[in-house]
Amino acid sequence: MPLILATTTPGEPEIFASLQGEGPSQGRPSTFIRLSRCNLACQWCDTAYTWRFAGDNRPHRDDVAFDRAANQVTMSEEEAASRIAALGQDRLVITGGEPLLQAPALARMLAHLPPMHVEIETNGTAAPAATLDPLVQQYNVSPKLAHSGNPAELALIPERLADWARNPRAFFKFVIATPDDVAEVLALQQRHAIPGERVFLMPEGTASAILRERQVWLSDLCLRHGFRMSDRLHIHLYGDTRGT
């Protein structure tokens, strides 16, 4: 089964080279491939064009329904690998949507690529497939807190979080909208034994000014609790745009 990708413009798959904007690899030159489809629906999601198609009534603050034909494209694993290789980077970031929904096809795609550092950005609700996991060097796990609007029974699956906590390749990146959100992070950390040195707090926002404002109080909370702070570098550099 081919990969299902998001698009930058109708018919053009979202495969591009940029600097990683978030988490432990922030600032590193990378190739990105953005897949379509997601099993969650964050009300502040900045890539809702990967899942909120016409007929999908899951809540989103912008209340925009995207045309599936214009925002989703299928591509063979071989073609996707060829486009990735042509960009010439030694680091690949697989993002979405929720990439692990297409784990078997991703494993086949990676088999067509030369050795490179592979990181997957995931919401943490799915386990990596046995065929894919050995090919991945890093997981950027972003569990969705209550303010995302997702029911906890869908977004915060205890056995999944515990498994990720035990995986030394998994880094946790929590989206923080208000200072109160950090209490939920602390509770999850304690409940699932998440190592503090692998926890990043990242301000929610799609405008540079909002990110800077929230980083002021977020930096104090990171200092207090021993967490790392993640920026959203791509927002400052390029704005809230596709293919960046």
Q: Residue-wise pLDDT tens for the chain (244 aa)? A: 799 999 999 999 999 999 999 999 999 999 999 999 999 999 999 999 999 999 999 999 999 999 999 999 999 999 999 999 999 999 999 999 999 999 999 999 999 999 999 999 999 999 989 999 999 999 999 999 999 999 999 999 999 999 999 999 999 999 999 999 999 999 999 999 999 999 999 999 999 999 999 999 999 999 999 999 999 999 999 999 999 9
Place of tokens 């809540």: 59
> What is the C-alpha radius of gyration for the chain, rounded to an integer number of angstroms?
17
Give which of 78, 67, 71, 59 is closest to 12, Cα–Cα: 71
For residue 170, what pLDDT is reported? 98
CA–CA distance, 143 with 192 (Å, rounded to integer): 12
CA–CA distance, 186 with 137 (Å, rounded to integer): 26
State residue 241 phi and psi, 5-degree precision. Answer: -130, 155
Domain spanning 3-238, CATH architecture: Alpha-Beta Barrel (3.20)
CA–CA distance, 135 with 107 (Å, rounded to integer): 7
Q: Which two structure tokens, joined as six digits, stand for 100?
A: 């692990």
Peptide bond before residue 97 is cis, with ω within 30 degrees of 0: yes
Q: Are 110 and 127 a contacting pair, CB within 8 Å? A: no
Peptide bond before residue 21 is cis, with ω within 30 degrees of 0: no
For residue 146, what pLDDT is reported? 98
For residue 1, what pLDDT is reported? 79
- If DSSP codes are grouped into helix, strand and coil, which group holds residue 224? helix
Longest dimension (CA), the chain: 48
